[in-house]
Copies of this chain bind each other. A is one copy, B any other.
């Protein structure tokens, strides 16, 4: 794409914050890169970068222009995907930003199924914390975001939502395993492993815990499902997850069957009166036309979720 190189260069310089670093990354000399940038600033008639002693930084005009550049690249990808689709071959690259929850079962399965049908489509998966997923949508580093938390950013369009009741995961022989539903006061005296503070699950738990002063024993905080799962084999304790992360069917009702999940562990739903159900948001950037490959994959995710949780998907 020779006709886009200068723009790509500006994008990289903006990300690196230094012409020399960007030049290294782009495998050209800093002087060539420097001159391209000067030339474009000249053509635009506006400086795009502030020159600082330690490098460069976008000024306001530059911010606007770089946003334009990124949307051009994203749109070019869309065009190429659409053109490739004309000849019957779905081609393209789908970039997904997701919290940990969907990475466990939903995305691996859905992507594998999709790729079986369209092997020419490649994927990029960024595991995001906090509001990083929204940011990625905005900077066009992600086509689709899966966010288990309230959406704050105005530029995000929510294509579908999935209600998910938080599950309490415990050893199969735990005393609470006989319960159909777990109440917060049941947790009194239990050893708990909680997700880290920025996670959506943690926020829902905290909201519930704030109201009822339950005296619990938080022995660990972790953002790794895998760690928590393995930890339970060594020390009997409880942790929390949402159904899509553990492959449990029928979220809110929470039958506790966790197909393919560790057989020594069981999941039981929290009482919705104690801990409110959370919402998984499937999003893309508002006003954006997704590449064919990404748009169809988005459809696939929603269809999969609708099949698995028929009552809990809203569009």
Minimal beta-carbon separation of A39 from chain B (angstroms): 7
Number of chain copies forming the complex: 2
Partner of A3, one of B40, B60, B75: B40
Partner of A79, one of B6, B64, B82, B86: B64
Which residues of chain B are within 8 angstroms of A29 by Cβ–Cβ distance?
none
Minimal beta-carbon separation of A74 from chain B (angstroms): 11
Please measure, in the bound complex, the distance between the C-alpha atom of A182 and the C-alpha atom of B75, giving whole angstroms.
Answer: 54
Minimal beta-carbon separation of A87 from chain B (angstroms): 8
Partner of A83, one of B61, B72, B84: B61
The answer to whether A46 has its CB under 8 Å from any CB of chain B is yes
Q: Are A64 and B44 in contact (CB under 8 A)?
A: no
Q: List 7 A-B contacts (CB under 8 A).
A: A3-B4, A3-B40, A3-B43, A64-B82, A65-B79, A71-B75, A72-B72
Partner of A72, one of B39, B64, B75: B75
Which residues of chain B are within 8 angstroms of A46 by Cβ–Cβ distance?
83-84
Minimal beta-carbon separation of A77 from chain B (angstroms): 11
Given A2-B39, A44-B80, A287-B287, A86-B60 contact (CB < 8 Å): yes
Partner of A68, one of B2, B43, B61, B76: B76
Residue of A64, A75, A289 with highest tally of chain B CB at under 10 A:
A64
Partner of A6, one of B3, B43, B64: B3
The answer to whether A142 has its CB under 8 Å from any CB of chain B is no
Which residues of chain B are within 8 angstroms of A84 by Cβ–Cβ distance?
46
The answer to whether A1 has its CB under 8 Å from any CB of chain B is yes
Within 8 A of B (CB), among A119-172: none
Which residues of chain B are within 8 angstroms of A7 by Cβ–Cβ distance?
3
Which residues of chain B are within 8 angstroms of A68 by Cβ–Cβ distance?
75-76, 79
Closest to A78 in B: B68
Given A71-B75, A76-B68, A83-B44 contact (CB < 8 Å): yes
Q: Are B83 and A65 in contact (CB under 8 A)?
A: yes
Within 8 A of B (CB), among A31-45: 39-40, 43-44
Please measure, in the bound complex, the distance between the C-alpha atom of A79 and the C-alpha atom of B70, giving whole angstroms.
Answer: 13
Which 10 pairs show the lowest CB-CB distances between chains A and B?
A61-B83, A3-B6, A68-B79, A46-B83, A1-B43, A64-B82, A60-B86, A64-B83, A64-B79, A72-B72
Which residues of chain B are within 8 angstroms of A39 by Cβ–Cβ distance?
2
Partner of A43, one of B2, B44, B64, B65: B2
Closest to A59 in B: B86
Closest to A3 in B: B6
Please measure, in the bound complex, the distance between the C-alpha atom of A65 and the C-alpha atom of B60, giving whole angstroms.
Answer: 30
Which residues of chain B are within 8 angstroms of A64 by Cβ–Cβ distance?
79, 82-83, 86
Minimal beta-carbon separation of A209 from chain B (angstroms): 44
Which residues of chain B are within 8 angstroms of A60 by Cβ–Cβ distance?
86
Minimal beta-carbon separation of A287 from chain B (angstroms): 6
Please measure, in the bound complex, the distance between the C-alpha atom of A65 and the C-alpha atom of B287, giving whole angstroms.
Answer: 19
Residue interface bits A247-287, CB-to-B below 8 A is 1, else 0? 00000000000000000000000000000000000000001
